[in-house]
Amino acid sequence: MWQIDQVTLRLFIAVCEEGTIARAAEREFIAPSAVSKRLADLEALVDVALLSRSQRGVRATAAGEALLRHARLIMRGHERMQAELSQYAAGARGTCACWRTYRRWSSFCPRPCPNS
């Protein structure tokens, strides 16, 4: 891992909300070991402890809570992005006939295209 990806961000949010890696893994349909490894890699990447482990679960450290706030903002940004794009996909905005028919720009697409 060379940069924080939003798969890890979503897993981290789930872990903080569920309180244990095991429950977060179940909620996200992934093995607990995979979650554990992603979290360890994340902590190695940012070089800061994000979770305080115990036998009853995990808890975010101060740095972990800071990351949690940013992660939620970023995920909200993703939701907004996908919401707007789905409007285009539905044809409500600016998708021309050639794309709706062929799912790609082709010579059949009249130029100048309304989206270009």
Partner DNA sequence: CGACCTTACGTTCTACGTAAACATA
Partner DNA sequence: TATGTTTACGTAGAACGTAAGGTCG
Q: Name the site residues for a copy of itself (rule: CB under 8 A).
A: 3-7, 43-44, 46-49, 52-53, 59, 61-63, 66-67, 70-71, 73-74, 77-78, 80-82, 84-86, 88-89, 93-95, 99, 103-105, 113-116
Rounded CA-CA distance 71/98 in Å is 38
Q: What is the dihedral of CA 33, 35, 40, 45, to 10 degrees?
A: 140
Q: Does 44 bind DNA (CB under 7 A)?
A: no
- Cα-trace Rg, the chain: 20
Instruction: Give least dist CB 72 to DNA, A.
Output: 20
Query: Which residue, 90 or 108, is less far from DNA as judged by CB?
Result: 108
Considering only 25-33, 69-77, 79-87, 88-96, which stretch makes contact with DNA by CB under 7 A?
Answer: 25-33
**Could you say which of a copy of itself, DNA, none residue 57 binds, taking C-beta under 5 to 8 angstroms by partner kind?**
DNA
Q: How far is CA 9 from CA 28, 59, 64, 79, 100, in A?
A: 12, 15, 11, 14, 34
The span from the CA of 59 to the CA of 54, in Å, is 8
User: Which stretches of the chain bind DNA, using CB under 7 A?
Assistant: 1, 5, 7, 20-23, 29-34, 36-41, 51, 53-58, 107
